[in-house]
Structure 1
């Protein structure tokens, strides 16, 4: 069967539509479908501009064809401002011949300086605008020796546009979710908490950087056969029991979420790891395999969440000297030890401490340490 508009096999068209949505999962989104379109349309380049370049912004685009990095850089940095093929009607496929004469097109600086050197003569495209404000451009190019785009070519692209629009909208939603995930994962790293997410079979789906660091050391906990284990037999039996309970609770929506904890012994003799096992509620609309079913939080008491010097100073209006002392005290040093570490006299340290107490409205060193450790200062640690 063929589509009446394009005289195009529906089976092939269905594959192309599927490739548009599969493009959401590609490392470089939509690269495969753009390659298919290039082949089907006899184009030398096909480009999807996801974010248009502008002053101080190189934009974001996916291009297939024999494109060079120099060509992309020159467009991002200079030629985008000369491009006459912009501001097209939303979701309407047009060619250059519909917006300007052939003589005007080939005489334009954009054509002469940017397109002609890479053998681009015919241009077809459409602008896509989603309801949430995303605007992107689809562009298809042919060489000088190729025929101009036909009504069939335009109809073919027109049929694909609604699917590109939906896919771009979904990509924005997925990107937001991924950004949130990275923010929360980063916050857990800054708080020095390892997170291990397990699927319904107890296998590791994802870990954060802190969990990777703890598990790589194999000091108390490790990963074996893609599953978490405690290195001591008794601890491991208890850990596996807690994980099993969490997985059972995950599959039963009528049972409350379970949270259990265990102290895990370390071979090195360092203080035990604190481990919390938390079941993940089953979503009402969950389906398929490899869903998050349980999460393990791991805290190594030997790791200190070192807040950035500047953040502590700004947060509490400390002087640089007061900040240095406060951070030494937060790391567990006594006033005398902190003074020695900083190379200052004890009387000077006491004077700084009085000022610190006044600015934080506390009267005891233990209260000060609690305020510092419970503040948002540790969240100001930058990514490595």
Structure 2
């Protein structure tokens, strides 16, 4: 094994970055470790350098490959996956982490399967001289580093170089696994937030949009209830909503501790907006935000949402229509008038809906409906 100083000494081209630096930077690249593999291929004179990533008990044929190689080199991965993988003698899953192996260690003289793999796959594909090293990381991540040539074997110096990289590659893989896990988690959470139809805007004292997230941007571009006017000023379709927004802009500009207020933007599909003072976490200047507007609405029409309540909770269409009205802030009396039924009938529907959903009252019914799987549809 060689130490870090040896790695730096072996691989420090004038004006360039050494292999160890590229290895450490690898998890931040797209694709990861591409620069490291390209430099390694050049430095050790390999025709191919590749990293094969797996998680859990995935088969080697299900690996994600990042590689650098001779562009004239034929891609034999389809042939490998189609059958030759069954002849591969390398026990990838049981390789000792951090140890460098030569392919020749696993080729058994006289074994007809190994002979076929060598003469029908490796030699024609210029892959008979290989070095293989496996590293692992918490969470079940495995990475196998493979380099190969077709004419001459690698020297002991190359073996020492790869072995010296092993602990660094293991740490780099662990960093990659953390980044990848957080990326997946963020993607799932982001999708859930999008499906809940949340968004936000930052407005200055004149109502100009200073910043927004992707969901708010989508609503501005494709919704009917709000849009960007001349100069980037937020414009609302409802005259009442515009009046309340202007009041909030004026009040929050003069009183950063003013109480938040809600504004209904649309009934079909439902969309409302919570206005809050921007607070102290803002920059000063003429474009200073004074209001953060949180947008929340329904991706579905009322008809679609009613149908989902019917299927999820066993409500009748009449009961589901009343339940939907209640989730949109209507009182029993208001909902009855909106649906054209008596208040007594509406109260009867509400009690049945409580029983079918397990709600203990009107507030609990709203909570259950708004947090059900229907909200993600």
Which of 225, 228, 234 pairs up with 1:230? 234
Unaligned runs of 5+ in 1: 247-257, 283-293, 340-348
When structure 1 is superposed on structure 2, of 45-54 and 294-303 the one drifting more is 294-303
Contact 2:227–2:235 (CA<8 Å) still a contact in 1? yes
What SS is found at the alignment partner of 1:91? coil
Who is 2:127 aligned against? 120
Which of 137, 152, 169 pairs up with 1:164? 169
What SS is found at the alignment partner of 2:10? coil
Contact 1:230–1:264 (CA<8 Å) still a contact in 2? no
Q: Does 1:88 align with 2:95?
A: yes
Who is 2:213 aligned against? 207
Contact 2:37–2:50 (CA<8 Å) still a contact in 1? yes
What SS is found at the alignment partner of 1:118? coil
Distance 1:113 1:158 in 2: 30
Distance 2:325 2:264 in 1: 23
Q: 1:119 to 1:260 in 2, by over 3 A?
A: farther
Q: Does 1:186 align with 2:191?
A: yes
TM-score (norm 2): 0.65
Contact 1:23–1:32 (CA<8 Å) still a contact in 2? yes
Distance 2:65 2:143 in 1: 9
Who is 1:299 aligned against? 295
Two-structure CA RMSD over aligned residues (Å): 5.3
Q: Does 1:48 align with 2:48?
A: no
Q: Does 1:133 align with 2:130?
A: no
Contact 1:197–1:207 (CA<8 Å) still a contact in 2? no
Who is 2:22 aligned against? 19
Which of 16, 37, 43 pairs up with 1:34? 37
What SS is found at the alignment partner of 2:221? helix
Q: Which has the larger radius of gyration?
A: 2
Who is 2:329 aligned against? none
Distance 2:74 2:261 in 1: 54
What SS is found at the alignment partner of 2:77? helix
1:133-188 CA deviation, whole Å, 9 max, x = no partner? 32221111112x2x101111111112222221111101111122222222222222
1:203-244 CA deviation, whole Å, 9 max, x = no partner? 75x834x2231232586465999xx8635899689769979x
1:88-124 CA deviation, whole Å, 9 max, x = no partner? 2210112123344577699434334443343212110
Distance 1:71 1:376 in 2: 49
The count of residues paired between Structure 1 and Structure 2 equals: 335
Who is 1:98 aligned against? 105
TM-score (norm 1): 0.64
Who is 2:274 aligned against? 274
Contact 2:359–2:368 (CA<8 Å) still a contact in 1? no
Unaligned runs of 5+ in 2: 204-208, 237-241, 283-289, 327-334, 341-345
Following superposition, the deviation at residue 312 of structure 1 comes to 4.9
When structure 1 is superposed on structure 2, of 367-376 and 328-337 the one drifting more is 328-337
Contact 1:6–1:152 (CA<8 Å) still a contact in 2? no
Q: 1:327 to 1:75 in 2, by over 3 A?
A: farther
